[in-house]
Amino acid sequence: MRSAHPLERAVGMEYYVSDADGVGGHLRASPEDFRVTELEAFETQPVDADTGAYPHLVFRAELHNWETNDFASALSDRLGISRERVSWAGTKDKRAVTTQLFSVKGLDADDLPALDGAAIDVVGRAGRPILFGDLAGNAFDIVVRDAESPENAASVLTDLQTLSGTAEPTDSETLPTGAVTVGVPNYFGQQRFGSRRPVTHEVGLAIVRESWEDAVLAYVGNPHEREPEATQAARAYVDETRDWAGALDRLPRALGYERSMCHALVENGAETPADFREAVETLPTNLQTLFVNAAQSYVFNRVLSARLERGLPFDRPVEGDVVCFTDSDAPADLALPDPDRTQRVTETRLRTVERHCERGRAFVTAPLVGTDTELGDGEPGDIERTVLDDVGIEPGDFDLPGAFDSTGTRRAVLVRTDLGVVRDGADLTFSFSLPKGSYATVLLREFRKGDPAE
């Protein structure tokens, strides 16, 4: 275990599990170097099914260098329909080749337009739209180019095999010829918080504390050294003056959300907490929810880091843990945790639950804190309470208005996958699958050990 990059520590990822030095190198040198294919979990009817009962056309799109939201907007513009009629299961990054399902309400297959960088295949029809989360996971083929020390990959792989707790590690000097089972802490990745300016959790924590002015300042002010100088200067002006009209003169036009908040504050006078809350609520509902989700994710990451510090296992429970069981509807080759099926681990149940975890039927969890959260007992519960005290929030604080409210859930602390690594000179290709909600970059950071913003 070793300390992580400062940008990662800022979002609660305090450590790398692997002690070995990283390979370095670059991700996404081209879109083809980052391939993502959804593991589908959505049932359809034939394309000629009755459109009255099955109004949603479902198609599979291979997208080259398209961010999912941008593709949905371009598709709806070409069709001349509302963007709200286009739905998908998981949002994918732009600089990649991604294959995923979409649905469009009230569309015939012959009406699908051709879009540059998109290969579209009609799958069928459905009675409801595809919703966020309607997938089992994602399969990845990712190339790290120009690694400075590609020989280090074997040692990192060995360390990650140890964390998985499934088998004896392979030779740390050479890469295995096939896939091996590895495990990493199921951290929320850097993109959850902002890859270059990780502040969404800071905004979310201020919201949970109902410090609405602090939430505005965390988003509109709060300059980051990786931003352009003009942007840093405008944010610094906000921090120093609280002059919202002056901020509008200085904030770049590209910062549309920040500007909308300033407009609201100019109009309402910015005198009361309600005025600042109104400014936050000018933002899209999904972004308001994202702020609170990021706060939950930050606390979760901190809990995992503290578990690593204390040397508690990730592949099996200790007394006081809360485990969840496997989703019975998941594909046979992908273990998917079901956070709605949980059990508290007592002394008398410990060995039985350990066996379930060994067989991949159960998973140790940590909380994504919300109003319904029941913290663990014993040492796991002590970790959770210590982190919450340090952050300055408690479960009841998530009883919030509108899009900010959250009941919480639980999330597995470990993600396992069968990982294949192939070396070609200074390039390394990683092939693996992850359940939905887990981040490929969290696995790759163990191998690269570099700046997550690169």
- The second-level CATH assignment, the architecture, of 289-412 is 2-Layer Sandwich (3.30)
For the stretch 352-382, pLDDT in tens is 999 999 888 899 999 999 999 999 999 999 9
Q: Tell me: pLDDT of 72 over 80.
A: yes
* Cβ–Cβ < 8 Å for 138, 36: yes
CATH 1.10.1510.30 fits 199-283, yes or no: yes
Between these two residues, 451 and 342, which has the higher pLDDT value? 342
pLDDT digits (tens, 9 = 90+) for 220-275: 999 998 899 999 999 999 999 999 999 999 999 989 999 999 999 999 999 999 99
pTM: 0.90
80-93 tens-digit pLDDT: 988 889 999 988 88
Given a cut of 70, whether residue 332 has pLDDT beyond it is no
First to last CA, the chain: 22
pLDDT value, residue 173: 75
CATH 3.30.2350.20 maps onto the chain at 289-412
Question: Is residue 425 predicted with pLDDT exceeding 80?
Answer: yes
The overall average pLDDT reported for the chain is 92
pLDDT confidence band for 321 (50 / 70 / 90): very high
Q: Where in the chain is CATH 1.10.1510.30?
A: 199-283
Quick one: which of 130, 127, 125 has its CA closest to 101? 130
Residues recognised as catalytic: 93
SS (H, E, C) the chain: CEECCHHHHCCCCCEECCCCCCCCCECCCCHHHEEEEEEECCCCECCCCCCCCCCEEEEEEEEECCCHHHHHHHHHHHHCCCHHHEEECCCCCCCCEEEEEEEEECCCHHHCCCCCCEEEEEEEEECCCCCCCCEEEEEEEEEEECCCCHHHHHHHHHHHHHHHCCCCCCCCCCCCCCCEEEEEECCCCHHHCCCCCCCHHHHHHHHHCCCHHHHHHHHHCCCCCCCCHHHHHHHHHHHHHCCHHHHHHHCCCCCHHHHHHHHHHHHHCCCCHHHHHHHHCCCCHHHHHHHHHHHHHHHHHHHHHHHHHHCCCCCCCCCCCEEEEECCCCCCCCCCEEEEEEEECCCCCHHHHHHHHHCCCEEEEEEECCCCCCCCCHHHHHHHHHHHHHHCCCHHHHCCCHHHCCCCEEEECEEEEEEEEEEECCEEEEEEEEECCCCHHHHHHHHHCCCCCC
Q: What pLDDT does 294 receive?
A: 95
Q: What is the pLDDT of residue 95?
A: 87
- Find the Cα–Cα–Cα–Cα dihedral 122, 128, 134, 139, rounded to 10°: 0
- Average pLDDT of the segment spanning 407-419: 94
CATH number of this structure's domain 42-133: 3.30.70.3160
Mean pLDDT calculated for residue range 397-407: 90
pLDDT of 315: 93
pLDDT tens figures, 153-210: 999 999 999 888 877 777 677 888 888 999 999 999 988 898 778 999 999 999 999 9
Q: How confident is the model over 276-281, as a mean pLDDT?
A: 94
- Taking only the tens place, the pLDDT of each residue in 89-140 is 988 888 899 999 999 999 999 999 999 999 999 999 999 999 988 888 999 9
